[in-house]
Chain A
Amino acid sequence: KAGVTQTPRYLIKTRGQQVTLSCSPISGHRSVSWYQQTPGQGLQFLFEYFSETQRNKGNFPGRFSGRQFSNSRSEMNVSTLELGDSALYLCASSRGSYTEAFFGQGTRLTVV
């Protein structure tokens, strides 16, 4: 059974650019959550999608957005990148909100 797949694994972008990250959940999982991990802040919740609907959003500016497709794959977009957006972005999938979450390897974004 394939795990959660995040692409790309590594990304370098310039300030002001935008970036799109992808997360393919485990087959049959309908919930996808996104997290940002930085050394100073730890893991911070970005948003959760369930059956193509955003159910909750963390405390991040509007530059951070996401969506989920009918096959449960999810994308996260960050526009007008800032240096502080450099982080490891993790996605987790689960069957539903109250079931075990499985994480991808993450996408390490570096903004220069």
Chain B
Amino acid sequence: KNEVEQSPQNLTAQEGEFITINCSYSVGISALHWLQQHPGGGIVSLFMLSSGKKKHGRLIATINIQEKHSSLHITASHPRDSAVYICAVREKDSNYQLIWGAGTKLIIKP
């Protein structure tokens, strides 16, 4: 079993829809990251969370430490949001490396 599981693996939606991507993890963590990777490879850090909720524009990230679960929400989705969204956790008291989810490929159709 992977230590970081994301769902769904693939998601296709229409422009304007509310999007939710989930991340569950099985280890104790000091932080959780949500990242976005566009075709071509570049990765952009969206959020780093250790508790609660963060919002940036149309993106919202939440984390429930007790349930070991985080969600990334996109409101009023747009075709330019099409990308792979990756959840990564930094295990508590670990050797500093990030443990990565497999990613969720999101396609937003106009």
- Which residues of A pack against B, CB within 8 Å? 31, 33, 37, 42-43, 45, 48, 55-56, 58, 88, 90, 92, 97-106, 108
A48 touches B96 (CB 8 A): yes
Restricting to B21-57, which residues have a CB under 8 Å from any CB of A? Answer: 30-31, 33, 35, 40-45, 48
Known A-B contacts A55-B96, A103-B35; A98 and B42 likewise in contact (beta carbons under 8 Å): no
- Which residues of B pack against A, CB within 8 Å? 30-31, 33, 35, 40-45, 48, 86, 88, 90, 95-98, 100, 102-103
Question: A residues within 8 A CB of B45?
Answer: 100-103
B98 touches A45 (CB 8 A): yes
CA distance A48 to B94 in the complex (A): 13
A106 touches B41 (CB 8 A): yes
B97 touches A88 (CB 8 A): no
Question: A residues within 8 A CB of B33?
Answer: 100-101
| In the complex, the 3 A-B pairs of residues with the closest C-beta atoms, listed nearest first | A103-B43, A106-B41, A56-B95
7 extra A-B contacts, CB within 8 A, seeds A31-B96, A103-B43: A43-B86, A45-B100, A48-B97, A55-B96, A105-B42, A106-B43, A108-B41
Q: Do most interface residues of chain A lie in helix, strand or loop, or is the interface mixed?
A: strand
Q: Do most interface residues of chain B lie in helix, strand or loop, or is the interface mixed?
A: strand
Contact of A43 among B30, B31, B96, B100 (CB under 8 A): B100
A105 touches B90 (CB 8 A): no
Question: A residues within 8 A CB of B100?
Answer: 42-43, 45
B97 touches A45 (CB 8 A): yes
Question: B residues within 8 A CB of A48?
Answer: 96-97
B48 touches A103 (CB 8 A): no
CA distance A37 to B88 in the complex (A): 14
Contact of B41 among A56, A88, A98, A100 (CB under 8 A): A88
The 26 listed contacts between A and B (C-beta, < 8 Å) are A31-B96, A33-B97, A37-B41, A42-B100, A42-B102, A43-B88, A45-B97, A45-B100, A48-B96, A55-B96, A56-B97, A58-B97, A88-B41, A90-B41, A90-B43, A97-B90, A98-B30, A100-B33, A100-B45, A101-B33, A101-B98, A103-B44, A103-B45, A104-B42, A105-B40, A106-B41
